[in-house]
A and B are shown apart, each in its own frame.
Chain A
Amino acid sequence: MIGDVWAYLTAAGSWQGSNGFAVRIFEHLQYVAGALLVAFLIAFPLGLLIGHTNKGVTVAVNAVNASRSLPSLGLLTLVVLVSGLGRAPVLVALTVLAIPPILNATYAGVRGVDKGAVNAARGMGMTELQVLWQVELPVALPLVWSGIRSATLQTVATATIAAYVALGGLGRYVIDGFAVREFDEMLAGAALVSLLAIVLDLVLALATRVSVSPGLREPRKQRRTSPLKRLAPGNQSTATAAG
């Protein structure tokens, strides 16, 4: 069985054409990139604002909690039934699911910045925007990245499920394969999408390493907040990945 899948995965023919792996991976990445970009453009500024001003925290926490218990398949089928088949409704659903992890991580990150550092920056005459951009954001950056990572995993997983209601993406193999009980095809799709998720996660881990200031790379233990705080509903950014 595994040999069959391997043969299917490595056959040159499987990679070509409109139902080939190359096209499907590209479609999958398009969904992921599109949803993440829009989600980031909404969630990141909003998260900075909430974190910096400390206003609207309750709204943010509730939004995150609600989205965590929202079944992605239910959201997808509903959106597509109401607004019609096509890529746009799916992108909307994916974006909705990608916003909370980024929003949550950004505001939690900014909020968690040492007040001493913020006040020192103000004392030096920095404007609020400078405080946010030069002090709070760099310190919050690791958490912002972790939010982007969980949003990415969530989107990759949900884009797979989206093949049920829409066109394209690696989920095609899983859904179409299941319809005709073609297990090699299903397994190949599952393997590729898992690999895609792992590779994207590694790339983002690398991006975190490169972009976070070396001054923040203390031994992990010292930087840890209490585990209870990290797991509190408003703060959890690693949890909802699998979708």
Chain B
Amino acid sequence: MDWGWIVDNRDLILELLIEHIWLSAIPVVIGLAVALVLGVLAHTYRWAYPPLLVVVGVLYTIPSLALFIVLPVVLGTQILNPLNILIALTIYSGALLVRTVVDGLDAVPPAVRKAAEGLGYKRLTRIVTVELPIAIPVIVAGLRVVTVANISMVSVGALIGIGGLGELFTSGFQIRFVTEIIVGLVLSLLLAVTADLLLVFLQRKTTPWDRLGATA
């Protein structure tokens, strides 16, 4: 390990770390928003779910590097535009989270649903104010998987020029400098652990009634 290099390049490392954070976080947020809408729709209109699952399954099968390259053609963006990475990761995040949202909504106990109906809740209000909160532990479990996967996938973008900490892998490899790669690996793992803990904490805060929620 060349500790001096780390000290000398702390500004660059920090900059890449910050880039890495927004490249992996924004897709989770947008992916969740899309998944909530699609998930509630699929939960309500059951017939739409099987075909949706097929589409989602195929999207998830496409290797990340391939998607990073195909998107510019579909979207008309430049290949070096960070938007390609953001949209690709949003697709993966949304694809996984749709399933999670529907699973979470399906797992709401029927008695709760009936009680809400009995109190006069209309369908949409019931789903949004009663069922979704109860589904939070399941949705957060999905969010954790997606977040960690995104953090490791952002690096692949370095192969086409934008990859946050992944750029430490490519530049370290080109100049055969192991320290740089290890710094990237360690920071990437730390980021994943931190994000995971943050989500667990968020879940505890949002579901105070569910004391067992954090055991998931």
Q: Are A71 and B155 in contact (CB under 8 A)?
A: yes
Residues 188-204 of A, flagged 1 when their CB comes within 8 A of B and 0 if not, give: 01110110011001000
Using a Cβ–Cβ cut-off of 8 Å, how many residues does chain A contribute to the interface with B? Answer: 53
Tell me which residues across on chain A come within 8 A of B216, comparing CB atoms.
Answer: 228, 231-232
A interface, by DSSP: helix, strand, loop or mixed? helix
| Interface status of A124 (Cβ within 8 A of chain B) | no
Tell me which residues across on chain B come within 8 A of A142, comparing CB atoms.
Answer: none
| Interface status of B197 (Cβ within 8 A of chain A) | no
Residues 98-142 of B, flagged 1 when their CB comes within 8 A of A and 0 if not, give: 001001101100000000000000000000000000000110011
Q: Interface residue tally of chain B, by bracket?
A: 35 or more
A80 to B170, CA, bound (A): 12
Residue among A71, A80, A236, A238 making CB contact with B185, cutoff 8 Å: A71
Q: Are A77 and B142 in contact (CB under 8 A)?
A: no
| Interface status of B151 (Cβ within 8 A of chain A) | yes
Tell me which residues across on chain B come within 8 A of A236, comparing CB atoms.
Answer: 145
Residues 166-209 of B, flagged 1 when their CB comes within 8 A of A and 0 if not, give: 10011011001010011011001100110000000000000000
| Interface status of B16 (Cβ within 8 A of chain A) | no
Chain B proximity of A77: nearest CB distance (Å) = 4
A78 to B184, CA, bound (A): 10
| Interface status of B33 (Cβ within 8 A of chain A) | no
| Interface status of B61 (Cβ within 8 A of chain A) | yes
Residue among A71, A186, A189, A238 making CB contact with B169, cutoff 8 Å: A71
A243 to B152, CA, bound (A): 8
Residue among B92, B144, B182, B189 making CB contact with A242, cutoff 8 Å: B92
Q: Are B184 and A71 in contact (CB under 8 A)?
A: yes
Between A and B, 27 residue pairs with Cβ closer than 8 Å are A68-B148, A68-B192, A69-B148, A69-B189, A71-B151, A71-B155, A71-B166, A73-B155, A74-B166, A75-B185, A78-B178, A81-B172, A161-B156, A164-B170, A174-B159, A178-B159, A187-B73, A194-B66, A194-B67, A198-B62, A227-B106, A227-B138, A228-B138, A228-B216, A231-B216, A236-B145, A240-B145
Extra A-B contacts (12), CB below 8 Å, given A174-B159, A193-B63: A68-B145, A68-B148, A71-B156, A81-B176, A156-B63, A164-B173, A178-B160, A187-B73, A191-B66, A231-B141, A239-B96, A242-B62
